[in-house]
A and B are shown apart, each in its own frame.
Chain A
Amino acid sequence: MTTVQQTLLLTQWQFRRQATMLPLLVLVQVFLAIATILGFGLVIGDPPPDQALYLATGAPTITLVMVGLVMTPQMLSQSRTEGSLDWMRTLPVPRGLFLVSDLLVWTLIALPGMVLGIVTGVLRFDVDLSPAPWLVPATLLVSLTAAAVGYGMASLLKPTLAMLMTQVLVFVILLFTPVSYPADRMPAWLQAAHEWLPFEPMAQLIRSGLASDAFSMPGRSLVVLLAWCAASVAGATWALRRRA
């Protein structure tokens, strides 16, 4: 049994467990992605082309971050509460594979929403995209980082507390991260904080992947994002290995 086979079997397990909810989950993701675009469009009015591009290329990041930081911890908290996590942990499976298989499931669920969000953005704001060849691995990196942070949060906090945290995060991510608007509109202290948080680098990476002619990825941001990715995956794996 190879690790890859085992991961795919676990993924199959998780995927089928969600089977009854799957259409609804995908639908909600699609709805959220489109609503983000149209909603921000209403807030801002008719944005000039550069702002429109910013908005259209920021929305996919919101979708990915929401799935990773909100849906993943909610599902993990649920499986902790219903007892299936403890049971799965008795299986002879390397701990990191739980993270990988969950991530695969959630990326697949987020994907239609992300794509339709991009399409909506292009249609609504009439912008031109120039996708970079590394857009797909960049998407996976953002997705992995967000899911690992969410995973760690849901493993370390009590389920009820983790659920509450996700509610707060939705609000913070939508309004107080430089994803859908440029960072220079924020107060200086918040800008400084975002230099060390993963959200701005995530947005920059997806943005420059979608519109590589208009945006570029600062090297520093990539380092910050990779550091978050490494730390959060290590943290989530540690949380899965932890013994009471």
Chain B
Amino acid sequence: MSEAAVLTVRGLRKRYRGRNGVQANDGIDLDVAAGQVVGLLGHNGAGKTTLVNQVVGLVLPDAGTIALEGVDAVARPDEARRRTSIQAQANVPITGLTPRRAIELVGRIRGADRAAVRTRTGELLDALDLGPWADTPAEKVSGGIARLTAFAMTVVAPGRLVVLDEPTNDVDPVRRRLLWQQIRSLADDGRAVLLVTHNVREAERVVDRLAVLDHGRVVADDTPAGLTAHLQGTLTVEADLSPGAVDAGWRWHPAVREVSRGRNREVGTVRAEDAAEVVRWAQGEVAGRRLERYALTPASLEDVYVELVGDEHRAAQGRTAEVAA
């Protein structure tokens, strides 16, 4: 697998002017190499779309550099677009077309020749199990099929960098697996894939690296294993309380550190060496009808993500509350 850098972002800053000026990107460094799938996590407003729009020259950075295969993407947006294919977060409206026609037309507009586009379109339609919908007018296909069509439009004649913004939204579980395979094989064919997603659990299995964006900055950038390493000795424990247990003063076992509490649903973490003890305790709670069910799982990337950006948010909310008071 080649490790040649395809996308190199350094010190990228962008502030949107106006009354509610927002510092959307606040000094981003990011690399995506050929053969890699890099996941970009971050909640709404973290600066993901702004980053992507700067790569293809829809938004002009205030400072910083973007290089695509060594070409300055800020100075040469046309070259950047030639090297990049993007699936936007919003579905591209294709009313009036069928999925097959839309995919083929985009492939040809991107400059691939007719025969190659036809073959590749057929392969993608098969691989994503879109055959039954391929020739249905777009206004009659469901959101998930439209989403997969948009994906196929993006990768029918892909650039060296493929950017996918929430490609799995609305897609059914069976086709989602097929989609993940296609995403992986894009990288295996030597493309660089930047995957913007909230779907941490599924992305975890496909990505080579994950970058977490928060308030316009990269707060973590590592392999999934690297990101979860410090949690390896920790397990997540979830418990569904029986009705009335809270009022009766229900408490976690002392070895459990509370993470969050919802309506009759509690989440905490426990050190691996205490797990057996906690399981014994939880069995007793279930027998005593104070718990309906409980589950222990290894710490996941989702936990890391919440740990990275969730705390800060809680802190921010606290500050707002203080101001309001």
Select one of B59, B88, B105, B108 contacting A83, CB under 8 A.
Answer: B88
A to B contact number (C-beta, < 8 Å): 72
Q: How long is the Cα–Cα vector from A91 to B78 in the complex, in angstroms?
A: 9
Interface: A89 (CB within 8 A): yes
Q: How long is the Cα–Cα vector from A9 to B59 in the complex, in angstroms?
A: 26
Tell me the residues in window 1-16 of chain A with beta carbons closer than 8 Å to chain B beta carbons: 1, 6, 9-10, 12-13, 16
Contact B78 A84 (CB under 8 A): no
**Contact bitstring B67-79, A, C-beta under 8 A = 1, else 0:** 0000000000110
Select one of A20, A92, A94 contacting B96, CB under 8 A.
Answer: A20
Interface: B278 (CB within 8 A): no
Q: How long is the Cα–Cα vector from A91 to B102 in the complex, in angstroms?
A: 14
Contact B92 A87 (CB under 8 A): yes
Contact A243 B93 (CB under 8 A): no
Number of B residues near A (Cβ < 8 Å) is 31
Interface: A161 (CB within 8 A): no
Interface: A82 (CB within 8 A): yes
| Chain A min CB distance to B90 (Å) | 4
Q: How long is the Cα–Cα vector from A33 to B111 in the complex, in angstroms?
A: 39
Q: Which B-chain residue is minimally distant from A17 (CB atoms)? A: B96
Contact B92 A84 (CB under 8 A): yes
Interface: A19 (CB within 8 A): yes
A9-B88 contact, Cβ under 8 Å, with A17-B97, A244-B60: no
Contact B81 A91 (CB under 8 A): yes
Contact A91 B97 (CB under 8 A): no
Contact A17 B58 (CB under 8 A): no
| Chain A min CB distance to B159 (Å) | 8
Contact B109 A20 (CB under 8 A): no
Interface of A is mostly: loop
| Chain A min CB distance to B48 (Å) | 15
Number of A residues near B (Cβ < 8 Å) is 24
Contacts of B106 in A (CB 8 A): 91
Contacts of A6 in B (CB 8 A): 109, 111
Contact A92 B139 (CB under 8 A): no
Contact B81 A92 (CB under 8 A): yes
Contact B92 A83 (CB under 8 A): yes
Q: How long is the Cα–Cα vector from A114 to B159 in the complex, in angstroms?
A: 43
Contact B58 A89 (CB under 8 A): yes
Interface: A192 (CB within 8 A): no
Q: How long is the Cα–Cα vector from A16 to B109 in the complex, in angstroms?
A: 14
Contact A9 B105 (CB under 8 A): yes
| Chain B min CB distance to A242 (Å) | 9
**Interface of A with B (CB < 8 Å)?**
1, 6, 9-10, 12-13, 16-20, 82-84, 86-87, 89-94, 243-244
**Interface of B with A (CB < 8 Å)?**
16, 53, 56-60, 77-78, 81-82, 84, 86, 88, 90-97, 101, 105-106, 108-111, 139, 159
* Known A9-B108, A16-B96, A86-B58; 8 more pairs at CB < 8 Å: A9-B105, A9-B109, A13-B97, A17-B95, A20-B95, A86-B88, A90-B56, A94-B78
